[in-house]
Amino acid sequence: MPRRPVVKKEYTLGERVYLVEIAKGLRLTWKHFVFNIKASFRKGPHTVPTCWQYPEDRREIAPIFRGAHMLQLNDKGQELCVGCGMCARACPAKCITVKRGKPAEGEEDRYAGKTMCSSFEIDMLRCIFCGNCEKACPKNAIVLGQDYELAEYEPGLCIYDKKRLISNFLKAKAEGRLKPPPAPIPIDAPPVKKKTAVKKMAPGKTKAKGGERAEKGKGTSVKEEDKGPDK
Amino acid sequence: MADWQIDLIKVVFIWAWALLIAVVMTWVERRASAMMQDRLGPNRAGPFGLLQPLADGIKLFTKEDIIPERARKILFILGPILFALPAFSTYAVVPFGDKIVIGGKEIILQVSDVNIGFLYVLALSAIAVYGMVIGGWASNSKYSILGGLRATAQLISYEVPMGLALLTIVLLYGTFSLREIVLQQQGTFLGFLPNWGFFKQPVGFIIFLVAAYAEANRVPFDLPECESELVTGYHTEYGSMRLGLYLFGEYVNLVALSAITVSLFFGGWALPYVDMGKFLGPVSYGIASFLVFFLKQAFFLFLFVWVRWTVPRFRYDQLMGLGWKALIPLGLVNLFITALLVQLTT
Amino acid sequence: MSKEKGLETICITTGPTEVGDYVTLNIGPIHPAMHGTLRVITQTDGETVISAKPEIGYLHRGVEKLGENLTYSQFLPMTDRLNYCSAICNNVAYEMAVEKLLGIEVPPKAQLIRMIMMELARIADHQVCVGILGVDLGALTPFFYLIIQREEIYEIFEWHHGARLTNSMGAIGGVEADLPDRFHEKWPKMRDTIRRANDETDSLLTHNRIWMDRTIGVNAFCGDDALDWGFTGPMLRACGVRRDLRKDEPYLMYDKVDFEVPVGKHGDVFDRYMVRMLEMEESVKIIDQAYALYKELPDDAPLMKKMPKIIRPPEGQIYHAIESPNGELGFFIKSDGSDKPYRIKIRPPCYMVYQAFEDLVKGEMISDLIACLSSLNVIAGELDR
């Protein structure tokens, strides 16, 4: 048996007689009891501290809640998604499948960009609702909405195609639950050096520069210039 | 109406009444516990969830009845029966009220007024122990046997303090019969205190109450069936209405124990300073005494529920230590002092 | 225990080890008292535990291996699912480890926001642990009183970064959103309601003799033994060793706030319970002070360091640990210069604690085994990864 330290139990008289502390505990529970009986008769949701009478009363969901996805349309009703596939690459669960395509003749004003996504599928059974796709999207096309009641009777229905995602958006728009555009994050960046005119250098020298950089390795990612999103 | 017909009606009525209270107790337990825990409890089945016990009963009836393969079949079936029957049989001696006059005949609201009153109750609770042990053993599962063993030890040990507390009652009132004891608790002593057992025997009352909690397997003494340790102990392997008999029988037991507590220590059906018989007619007196008894019983039933959700549970050796090392000496001392006082005052 | 030829050396099974007339009781992966999927194979002599071999791995999902195929920012949601009661601490630990590898330091406002969120997560974790300890020991009401407060904390999480339980808070380089308005509105009231819920739990449990009998002297453990086994966190502090990474190796801005580290004496279940209750109080103090520091910073102070789209840390390896509610949660990351880590190893605090389980409960009763398991706060997600 392992060695154990000797523990002496010292009780006060009130503690030795169980009943004093039990009576105090009973008084506390009685106070909660009376409060909750009065609360259960009041009208309105969530009068009793732990209970929401779902599905009649629902909690208020934050606008930035990460729920079911939706493909957004812009104010003119054009699809924002260009089919670049950044969301599919950013997804940790590999649940998004995007195919890029060109809009058909005569349908160009349905889409805001020059390209569109001919197919866009999200497997909701794999999705972990992390929001990486939302952060990666350059056009703010795919966002996570406020819907969390996603149960279906068949697994096939849980693979959302483009039609379902756009209809999610339209439903949210009709209910006034659109996702607010992402707020700009104040970033602590080193001051941007003013770009001077680049002199054309001899081909040898630029190669040396490139070689130097390759030797340093792929690190130093902080000071690298930010490869901006394609506008 | 012959006497035996009246008794038969009384049996059926009181049996149905006890069942009804036990059923409502399941509802009270769930709602009251929810109210203490800042939540609501069942409120979907019927208004305020009042049909919830009915739903539970239907659920238990319609579930598949499984007997484990290597369980002892006969004992497995016998266990719940041995547990539930004594609980129901206890009602035979409980005085629910005083006389009621129907059709010119005086009927006492008690099924049978035997003169060994609560000795009969003690004997029955000893049989209930068998129900738990046999259920635990016959299930052929380690959790069940552990629960069954704990139940045996606990129940047998706590019968002794219960008996000691009850002995002091016998010394005070000189009779075992429950009706006699209730009748003797009318009036006052010391000028203003009612003649109740509670005021004459406070220590005895506490010992009896603690022993009653242990006999009923309620927190803080619910070791045999604690969920967190033994996955419900001796009724792990039971399903369907057999489990229903165990669970239901526990509530019937509770109702019986509260009834006994009320009749022995709290004056039974009588109000403390008022003699209801003086200003109520015969029929309404009977009904009023029945109601008073029921209200006092309801308080104790609520106390069972109230304590359950406030207090943690004992460990096994602490439980046995409390019973043997604290309650029994206290009960003996109490008995001694009571005997001395009774001798000195008569 | 397979006796087939050749398999004896390969199969590592846990099973009854002592020889004698003992009852083998399997407290299995599915049990009302198990915190997640843990299995304990005990041999008992009546009620006394002779041996108790824990078996783990029922929730192993290969998180560390999955990390080798995910980029650094894709691995962040995986860290949520480790200690799911306080997911933010895991997120911050991972982010800080990667930032250490990259050699950057986040702006002070982000540090303060991280501190506030982490301390809220610490309060939430301790609330669950104390509540479940009560439930396992039979006191079912304090759990509900504490859980209500947890709901308030979840609301703040939801309004800050969008998720209640699996937070994935922040990003490598800082925090992506400022403190929500909800926090500014709710915090003055929340600190009082958290304290009140703690006081109610205290009044129901701490001086109740039944509770004291159940927990004082149960699983008492020496501080030296605890250090030998590798304990950290509340388990170690309950044994009397004052070690808290927030004080000994301060990270973020913990050296600028003033708080105490509660230390127990005997290492029994009661001390662990008291250490956790007092730590909740200290967390409230830390949040108050961090909030005061936060209000001194300008509204548009930067929240994130400028990070490239693809994070490619230089070659090297790093180990960074923080004080999570359970103990020292450490991340070891080895990078080979590409955008995916070569190896991520997570040091789960409850693994070290759980390996001492047999030593803790030997000679005690079955009820004490359950009490011990509850007080260790073993969370299967963290144990098995």
> A49 to chain C: which residues are within 8 Å by CB?
148
pLDDT digits (tens, 9 = 90+) for C329-381: 999 999 998 889 999 999 999 898 888 888 888 888 888 888 888 888 888 88
* CATH number of the domain within which A159 lies: 3.30.70.3270
> C145 to chain A: which residues are within 8 Å by CB?
32
Share of chain C above pLDDT 90, in %: 31
The phi and psi torsions of A106 (rounded to 5 degrees) equal 85, -5
Residue B247 and residue B24: Cα distance in Å, rounded? 13
Interface residue B38 vs chain C (CB under 8 A): yes
Query: Where does residue A182 rank: exposed (0-12), middle (13-18), buried (19+ CB within 10 A)?
Result: middle
| Nearest CA-CA partner of C357 in C213, C221, C215, C232 | C221
Put simply, the answer to whether B307 touches A48 (Cβ < 8 Å) is: no
Which among A22, A29, A53 has CB closest to B36?
Answer: A29
Residue B339 and residue B344: Cα distance in Å, rounded? 9
Residues of chain C with pLDDT under 50: 1-12
Whether the pLDDT of residue A203 is over 60: the answer is no
Cα C156 from chain centroid (whole Å) = 20
Q: In this predicted structure, what is the pLDDT of residue A198?
A: 59
> A19 to chain B: which residues are within 8 Å by CB?
206
Whether the Cβ atoms of residue A58 and residue C36 lie closer than 8 Å to each other: no
State the best of B28, B33, B37 to mutate against chain A, taking most chain A CBs within 10 Å. B37
Which among B36, B219, B311 has CB closest to C208?
Answer: B311
C-contacting residues in B 69-108 (Cβ below 8 Å): none
Whether the Cβ atoms of residue C225 and residue C359 lie closer than 8 Å to each other: yes
Residue B273 and residue A150: Cα distance in Å, rounded? 65
Residue A204 and residue A190: Cα distance in Å, rounded? 31
Interface residue A132 vs chain C (CB under 8 A): yes
Is residue A141 assigned to a domain?
A: yes
Residue A49 and residue B37: Cα distance in Å, rounded? 9
Q: Which two tokens stand for residue B57?
A: 């009963």
Q: In this predicted structure, what is the pLDDT of residue C135?
A: 87
User: DSSP letter string over B181-214?
Assistant: HHHHT-SEETTTEES-HHHH-HHHHHHHHHHHHH
Interface residue A148 vs chain B (CB under 8 A): no
Residue C101 and residue A135: Cα distance in Å, rounded? 23
Which among A7, A49, A92 has CB closest to C266?
Answer: A7
Q: Where are the domains of chain B?
A: 66-345
Whether the Cβ atoms of residue C165 and residue C124 lie closer than 8 Å to each other: no
Cα–Cα separations (whole angstroms), residue C205 to A10, A22, A50, C376:
16, 9, 21, 18
Closest chain B residue to A24, measured at CA: B310
The phi and psi torsions of C175 (rounded to 5 degrees) equal -120, 145
The phi and psi torsions of C12 (rounded to 5 degrees) equal -105, 100
Residue B232: pLDDT band (50, 70, 90) is low
> A135 to chain C: which residues are within 8 Å by CB?
171, 176
Same domain, A79 and A161: yes
Q: Which fold has domain C63-347?
A: Cytochrome-c3 Hydrogenase; chain B (1.10.645)
Whether the pLDDT of residue B73 is over 80: the answer is yes
Query: Where does residue C13 rank: exposed (0-12), middle (13-18), buried (19+ CB within 10 A)?
Result: exposed
Q: Which two tokens stand for residue B125?
A: 């609770």
Give residues with Cβ within 8 angstroms of B85, minimum separation 6.
Answer: B127
Residue C359 and residue B94: Cα distance in Å, rounded? 53
B53-62, long-range: CB < 8 A, 24+ apart = B53/B23, B53/B24, B53/B26, B53/B27, B56/B26, B57/B23, B57/B244, B60/B240, B60/B241, B60/B243, B60/B244, B61/B240, B61/B241, B61/B244
Residue A137 and residue C264: Cα distance in Å, rounded? 51
| Nearest CA-CA partner of C286 in C187, C193, C157 | C187
Mind telling me how many Å the CA of A205 is from chain C's nearest CA? 26
Q: How many CA atoms lie within 13 A of B125 on its CB side?
A: 29
Interface residue A35 vs chain C (CB under 8 A): no
Touching partners of A (3+ C-beta pairs < 8 Å): B, C
Put simply, the answer to whether C308 touches A224 (Cβ < 8 Å) is: yes
Residue C139 and residue C203: Cα distance in Å, rounded? 12
Residue C59 and residue C40: Cα distance in Å, rounded? 15
Whether the Cβ atoms of residue A80 and residue A73 lie closer than 8 Å to each other: yes
Same domain, A88 and A145: yes
Closest chain A residue to B311, measured at CA: A22
Handedness of CA B105, B110, B111, B117 (dihedral sign): negative
Is residue A181 assigned to a domain?
A: no
Which among C148, C151, C208 has CB closest to A25?
Answer: C208
pLDDT digits (tens, 9 = 90+) for B31-46: 998 888 888 888 888 8
Q: In this predicted structure, what is the pLDDT of residue C126?
A: 93
Q: Could you give the 3-state DSSP secondary structure of residue B338?
A: helix
Put simply, the answer to whether B206 touches A19 (Cβ < 8 Å) is: yes
Cα–Cα separations (whole angstroms), residue C68 to A91, B273, C64, C72, C84:
15, 82, 7, 9, 22
Size of interface A-C (CB pairs under 8 A): 156
> C210 to chain B: which residues are within 8 Å by CB?
220, 311-314, 318
Whether the pLDDT of residue A229 is over 60: the answer is no
> B317 to chain C: which residues are within 8 Å by CB?
47, 365
Q: In this predicted structure, what is the pLDDT of residue B38?
A: 87
Q: In this predicted structure, what is the pLDDT of residue A202?
A: 55
> A16 to chain C: which residues are within 8 Å by CB?
209
Size of interface B-C (CB pairs under 8 A): 78
pLDDT digits (tens, 9 = 90+) for C9-43: 433 455 556 667 787 888 778 776 657 788 888 88
Interface residue B37 vs chain A (CB under 8 A): yes
Interface residue C310 vs chain B (CB under 8 A): no
When mean pLDDT is compared across A103-112, A140-149, B120-129, C348-357, the lowest value belongs to A103-112
Residue B290 and residue B267: Cα distance in Å, rounded? 13
Q: In this predicted structure, what is the pLDDT of residue B235?
A: 76
Cα C25 from chain centroid (whole Å) = 28
Is residue A40 assigned to a domain?
A: yes
Same domain, A20 and A43: yes
Interface residue C213 vs chain B (CB under 8 A): yes
Interface residue C33 vs chain B (CB under 8 A): yes
Interface residue A52 vs chain B (CB under 8 A): no
Query: What's chain A look like in SS3?
Result: CCCCCCCCCCCCHHHHCHHHHHHHHHHHHHHHHHHHHHHHCCCCCCCCCCCCCCCCCCCCCCCCCCCCEEECECCCCCECCCCCCHHHHHCCCCCEEEEEECCCCCCHHHECCCCEEEEEEEECCCCCCCCHHHHHCCCCCEEECCCCCCCCCCHHHHEECHHHHHHHHHHHHHCCCCCCCCCCCCEECCCCCCCCCCCCCCHHHHHHHHHHHHHHCCCCCCCCCCCCCCC
When mean pLDDT is compared across A186-195, A199-208, C183-192, C304-313, the lowest value belongs to A199-208
Number of domains composing chain A = 2
Put simply, the answer to whether B35 touches A26 (Cβ < 8 Å) is: no
Domain extent for A39: 13-59
The phi and psi torsions of B99 (rounded to 5 degrees) equal -70, 150
User: What's the whole-model pTM score?
Assistant: 0.87
Q: Which residue has the higher pLDDT, B109 or A229?
A: B109
Mind telling me how many Å the CA of A138 is from chain C's nearest CA? 12
Mind telling me how many Å the CA of B38 is from chain A's nearest CA? 6
Residue A231: pLDDT band (50, 70, 90) is very low
Put simply, the answer to whether C138 touches B146 (Cβ < 8 Å) is: no
Mind telling me how many Å the CA of A154 is from chain B's nearest CA? 28
Residue C200 and residue C277: Cα distance in Å, rounded? 12
B-contacting residues in C 128-187 (Cβ below 8 Å): 134-141, 144-145, 148
User: DSSP letter string over B81-121?
Assistant: HHHHHHHHHGGGG----SEEEETTEEEESSS---TTHHHHH
Which among B142, B229, B311 has CB closest to C370?
Answer: B229
Residue A211 and residue A204: Cα distance in Å, rounded? 11
- The ipTM, to two decimals, is 0.85
| Nearest CA-CA partner of C39 in C334, C295, C287, C378 | C378
Whether the pLDDT of residue A219 is over 90: the answer is no
Q: Could you give the 3-state DSSP secondary structure of residue B227?
A: helix
Interface residue B318 vs chain A (CB under 8 A): no
Put simply, the answer to whether A50 touches B310 (Cβ < 8 Å) is: no
Closest chain A residue to B206, measured at CA: A19
Residue A208: pLDDT band (50, 70, 90) is very low
> A26 to chain B: which residues are within 8 Å by CB?
306-307, 310
Closest chain B residue to C30, measured at CA: B231
Query: Where does residue C51 rank: exposed (0-12), middle (13-18), buried (19+ CB within 10 A)?
Result: middle
Placement of tokens 């506008």 in the chain:
A231
User: DSSP letter string over C234-258?
Assistant: HHHHHTT----HHHHS--TTGGGS-
Cross-strand partners of A69 = A144
Residue C167 and residue C77: Cα distance in Å, rounded? 8
Mean pLDDT for the stretch of residues B311-315: 87
Residue A18 and residue C209: Cα distance in Å, rounded? 6
When mean pLDDT is compared across A86-95, B104-113, B149-158, C292-301, the lowest value belongs to B104-113
- DSSP type of residue B304: H
Same domain, A97 and A19: no
Interface residue B311 vs chain A (CB under 8 A): yes
Put simply, the answer to whether A3 touches C310 (Cβ < 8 Å) is: no
Residue C117 and residue A225: Cα distance in Å, rounded? 31
Q: Where are the domains of chain C?
A: 7-55, 63-347
Interface residue A55 vs chain B (CB under 8 A): no
Other Cβ atoms closer than 10 A to C356: 20
What's the one-letter identity of residue C13?
Answer: T
- DSSP type of residue C6: T
Whether the Cβ atoms of residue C297 and residue A216 lie closer than 8 Å to each other: no
Beta strands C304-305 and A187-188, pairing class = parallel
Mean pLDDT for the stretch of residues A110-125: 87
Q: Which two tokens stand for residue B332?
A: 């003996």
Touching partners of B (3+ C-beta pairs < 8 Å): A, C
Mind telling me how many Å the CA of C347 is from chain A's nearest CA? 22
Is residue A168 assigned to a domain?
A: yes
Put simply, the answer to whether A28 touches C204 (Cβ < 8 Å) is: yes
What mean pLDDT value characterizes chain B? 85
Residue B217 and residue B223: Cα distance in Å, rounded? 7
Cross-strand partners of C318 = C333
**What angle do helix axes C108-136 and C269-296 make, rounded to 10 degrees?**
160
Interface residue B298 vs chain A (CB under 8 A): no
Same domain, A53 and A74: no
